[in-house]
Structure 1
Amino acid sequence: MAHSTDNKALGFKDTIVIGMMTFALFLGAGNVIFPAALGLEAGTNLLPTMAGFLFTAVGLPAFIMVALGMVGKACQFTAPLTGGLGRAFWVSLFIAIGPAFAMPRAVTVAYEMGLRPFVEGDYLLPFTIVFSLVILFLTYNSQKLVDWIGKLMTPAMIAILAAISVAALLFPLGSIAEPVNQLAITPVTEGMMQGYMTMDALGAVGYGWVIMQAINSRGVTSSAQVAKSTMHIAMIYSVLMGGCYLALSYVGATANTIAQGATNGGEILSLYVYEIFGGFGQLLLAAIMILACLSTAVGVAQANAEYFSSTFKVNQTKVALVVVIVNCFIANFGLDQIITFSLPGILILCPVALALVLASVVSHHFPQVKPAHNAAMILTLVFGTIDAMSIIGVIPASLDSFFAANLPLYTAHTSWLIPCVTAIVVQSLISVLTGSATKAPEAI
């Protein structure tokens, strides 16, 4: 018997294309250059370090995508929140992963590594204008987003990264050295913390709008099929992103001979590809950066346009234009200034997003349990702020020592986790004991 339209499944080809699109949305410049630096520092502890790193840098985003497929819509993550907490969270998230931080960072990194090595003088302003126009063009052609990113950009990026990885295997530029700093003592824990700091978990919540739109546009609307399709897409993303991280970390681990004095993964990759490929290598690296940054910027611009147009009932085309203009303006302040002013907010938003996802998964599987979103969000906001202050180094020494001795998981920058889980468990027990099942309110 033929399936009804409402139970239509996502085809194999569409699953591959959307999976590759998802990989491209996450593969920003930081995702390319960070593993190389981590690999160089991890040295002979590369495998345990990357095991921890992959758990948080790939596992958490994949988990959030699967959770999104379960609940059906990203807005359900905040549906049980009272007052304006839900809308405040989404507005903050989309501004952060859009024009305030992720997009300007993508533009400036694309300039620093994609154009600046080949020119003399400062061309940041004209570059940001041209780059932003390309972002705007791709965002306006939303119906072609999957085709552009899934069928063109992603295969090109995979081919470029594969060329560098194969070269690292065949022509290593040095033996793997001993690990340094904390990676010599607790490589798994340190790898997990560094993976958490990629903040792709935050991006996974925002990218959900694009992923769901892509699935629904293929005629897949039933909750069971959407959940199944999302799981398959998350698996494709995990394989591609995990392979990318492992390959680039190995490049860094075997580049110690030529990477002495390098301060970041970008320098390591630049030195490596120049040593192996010469001038062609520089062009190769430039292509990686431009494609990675462009795909990320298009993804977050589309997500912003989708959210603000549907929430505030404004024209999506106008929203995209405003987002790209603001991005172009902020990008000209430079990468250092963007990170300095935006990082604290990002570090607070990330654990809050994870807390809401955890609460939503529990509510989905146990509908008789009263949602614990409010308590989970507030507690995570408090303890997540403490973690953020610790990471950026603004906590007084006396308080830092006190928290390190008395606050569980503080040294791993995840002191929010236990209070969050406790709030969910306590709320669940109260609901079961009192029988106070409560239907979640409508999405904000």
Structure 2
Amino acid sequence: MKRRELAAIGFMTFALFLGAGNLIFPPMMAQQAGENWLIAIVGFLLTAVGLPALTLIVLGRLSSADKLTASLPHWMDRTFWFLVLTTLGPAFVLPRAVTVAYEMGIKPFYQGNGLMLFSVLFCLLTLILALKPGKLVSYIGKVMTPALIVMLALLVIAALINPLGSPTDANAIYKAAPTVNGMIQGYMTLDAIAAVAFGWVIIQTIRGTGISCNKAISYYTLRIAGIYALLMSLCYLAMGYLGATSSSIAPNSTNGGEILTRYAAGEFGTFGQILLATITLMACLTTTIGLTNANGEYYKNTYNVPFKISAVVIMSLTTIISNVGLETIIEVSLPAILILCPIAVSLIIAIIFMPNTVSNEKRKFSMSQTLIVIIATLFGSIDALNILGKIPSAIHQDLTAWLPLFNAHASWLLPVLVTIFSSKVIHIIQRNRNAVATC
């Protein structure tokens, strides 16, 4: 693969992940962290960038995204992918991207209610670009991403030259543990689960350049993950700086979007509002294209559904849900994503420490992998209920006292690690017994 192609795919990967939510998270966190914003951002990068990059690297080593779950029972494998791609697609993330694009990109300049017309046009544009997956690198990696980077750089350079404030005192939680709370916020971007879906797109894009050797796919995925990690880290640092220096222009803001809007207007006036609107629209568009492509690739490879049919159905559903009952859909879908994320990360960790549970030749059932998914689902459900505020106060106090990492929304981590370690030990003991028996 030529360096130019590699860079273009790396840029495309960065753009796929860079949705409006990714722009909004760091400014809000950095404003709250105040003088500790850099320490908090380090923790944020570990989970918001580190976990997705690790996921891409593991998927590249497998050379196919579907091998991540190939050791699970067939029904569990299909259920996992269906839920991941449905919630990241028309049931949650796609409608949210359309709505956010309208709220931040169009509504500030339009007094009426134009969401329906906008959603139709936005989804139609997404469909047109997604129906030519072979040209994704040209559309996104070579054109849209460089333009997006230039616009972000313009805003950040202006902030460096003329900051609109200075970091204030950190609030209580960021005074006590800035790095840990940064890690929690990074985990809550849920980009680790997005990386599982985008793995379909990235590996297929690599194959589209004529590369079919598994080792080569692993090698290039590693380098693409590196490009993504570098660009996304720089973006998060830049957005964090804007939030940390927004004390005078946007004090006590309720969300990162408000901070960015006021900062852009403060630096450039009306042009700044147009600049931010363009950044938001482009960031949302690259994400919707990537997720539509990921869904289409999955249904084509798994169920032999033609890519065009899948893409049309997905965009049609997205258009409808963007206009009707999005809040209800979010209430239903968010718990699923909060549970699926621990499952996905657990599978990645398991494959790192137990690579022999995955076969490159054929499906091979693994009791260890299945048990890990069950445990991640159980404890991930507890974390999801905690995040959604659905746990009674008395039970919440008991779980805080007795369940490790409960307040960090990662109570699934220790049980999963113990299960992986135990499975590894059992496997070594069985292998040694078999070796002795054959002597």
Deviates more, 1:368-377 or 1:223-232: 368-377
Q: Indicate which of 343, 348, 354 corresponds to 1:357.
A: 348
Alignment of 1:246-261 (within 5 A): 246-261=237-252
Separation in structure 2 between the aligned mates of residue 133 and residue 366 of structure 1, nearest angstrom: 42
* Aligned-residue offset at 1:261: 3.9
Pair 58,437 (structure 1): closer, same or farther in 2 beyond 3 Å: farther
CA contact (8 A) 2:292 2:315 kept: yes
Opposite residue 230 of structure 2, the aligned amino acid is V
Alignment of 1:170-249 (within 5 A): 170-249=161-240
Identify the residue that residue 425 of structure 1 maps to in structure 2: 421
1:71-97: per-residue Cα shift (whole Å, max 9, x none)? 111111101101410110000000011
CA contact (8 A) 2:70 2:358 kept: no
Q: Indicate which of 357, 370, 377 corresponds to 1:374.
A: 370
Where 1:80 maps in the other structure, the secondary structure is: coil
* 2:17 aligned with 1:17: no
Separation in structure 1 between the aligned mates of residue 58 and residue 26 of structure 2, nearest angstrom: 26
Separation in structure 2 between the aligned mates of residue 260 and residue 123 of structure 1, nearest angstrom: 30
Where 1:109 maps in the other structure, the secondary structure is: helix
Separation in structure 2 between the aligned mates of residue 147 and residue 307 of structure 1, nearest angstrom: 22
* Aligned-residue offset at 1:402: 0.7
How many residues align? The count is: 429
Opposite residue 353 of structure 1, the aligned amino acid is A
Structure 2 unmatched runs, 5+: 435-439
Q: Indicate which of 252, 268, 278 corresponds to 1:277.
A: 268
Identify the residue that residue 306 of structure 2 maps to in structure 1: 315
Q: Indicate which of 364, 379, 395 corresponds to 1:399.
A: 395
Opposite residue 250 of structure 2, the aligned amino acid is A
Identify the residue that residue 329 of structure 1 maps to in structure 2: 320
Q: Tell me the percent identity.
A: 44
Opposite residue 99 of structure 1, the aligned amino acid is P
CA contact (8 A) 1:71 1:360 kept: no
Separation in structure 2 between the aligned mates of residue 395 and residue 350 of structure 1, nearest angstrom: 20
Separation in structure 1 between the aligned mates of residue 225 and residue 166 of structure 2, nearest angstrom: 35
RMSD: 1.8
CA contact (8 A) 1:371 1:427 kept: no
Where 2:49 maps in the other structure, the secondary structure is: helix
Q: Indicate which of 267, 283, 286 corresponds to 1:292.
A: 283
1:109-166: per-residue Cα shift (whole Å, max 9, x none)? 0000000000111100000000000010011111111100001110111011101111
Separation in structure 2 between the aligned mates of residue 192 and residue 352 of structure 1, nearest angstrom: 18
* Aligned-residue offset at 1:181: 3.3
CA contact (8 A) 1:114 1:287 kept: yes
Where 2:127 maps in the other structure, the secondary structure is: helix
Opposite residue 315 of structure 2, the aligned amino acid is V
Q: Indicate which of 334, 339, 356 corresponds to 2:330.
A: 339
* Aligned-residue offset at 1:100: 0.7
Identify the residue that residue 3 of structure 1 maps to in structure 2: none
* Aligned-residue offset at 1:360: 2.1
Pair 272,301 (structure 1): closer, same or farther in 2 beyond 3 Å: same
* Aligned-residue offset at 1:343: 1.3
Separation in structure 1 between the aligned mates of residue 247 and residue 156 of structure 2, nearest angstrom: 16
1:295-343: per-residue Cα shift (whole Å, max 9, x none)? 0000000000000122111111101000000111111136644433321
Identify the residue that residue 110 of structure 2 maps to in structure 1: 119
CA contact (8 A) 2:67 2:358 kept: no
* Aligned-residue offset at 1:262: 2.0
* Aligned-residue offset at 1:437: 11
1:242-293: per-residue Cα shift (whole Å, max 9, x none)? 0000001100110110112421111111111111100100100000110000
* Aligned-residue offset at 1:435: 2.5
Identify the residue that residue 265 of structure 1 maps to in structure 2: 256
Pair 436,81 (structure 1): closer, same or farther in 2 beyond 3 Å: farther
Pair 285,367 (structure 1): closer, same or farther in 2 beyond 3 Å: closer
Opposite residue 384 of structure 2, the aligned amino acid is A
Pair 128,366 (structure 1): closer, same or farther in 2 beyond 3 Å: closer
Where 1:45 maps in the other structure, the secondary structure is: helix
Opposite residue 173 of structure 1, the aligned amino acid is L
CA contact (8 A) 1:182 1:190 kept: yes
Identify the residue that residue 435 of structure 1 maps to in structure 2: 431
Where 2:407 maps in the other structure, the secondary structure is: helix
Identify the residue that residue 441 of structure 1 maps to in structure 2: none
Separation in structure 2 between the aligned mates of residue 335 and residue 240 of structure 1, nearest angstrom: 31
CA contact (8 A) 1:64 1:205 kept: yes
Separation in structure 1 between the aligned mates of residue 263 and residue 220 of structure 2, nearest angstrom: 39
CA contact (8 A) 2:351 2:358 kept: no
CA contact (8 A) 2:338 2:380 kept: yes
Identify the residue that residue 7 of structure 1 maps to in structure 2: none
* 2:412 aligned with 1:416: yes
Identify the residue that residue 90 of structure 1 maps to in structure 2: 81
TM-score normalised to the size of structure 1?
0.94
Separation in structure 2 between the aligned mates of residue 30 and residue 337 of structure 1, nearest angstrom: 19
Pair 187,151 (structure 1): closer, same or farther in 2 beyond 3 Å: same
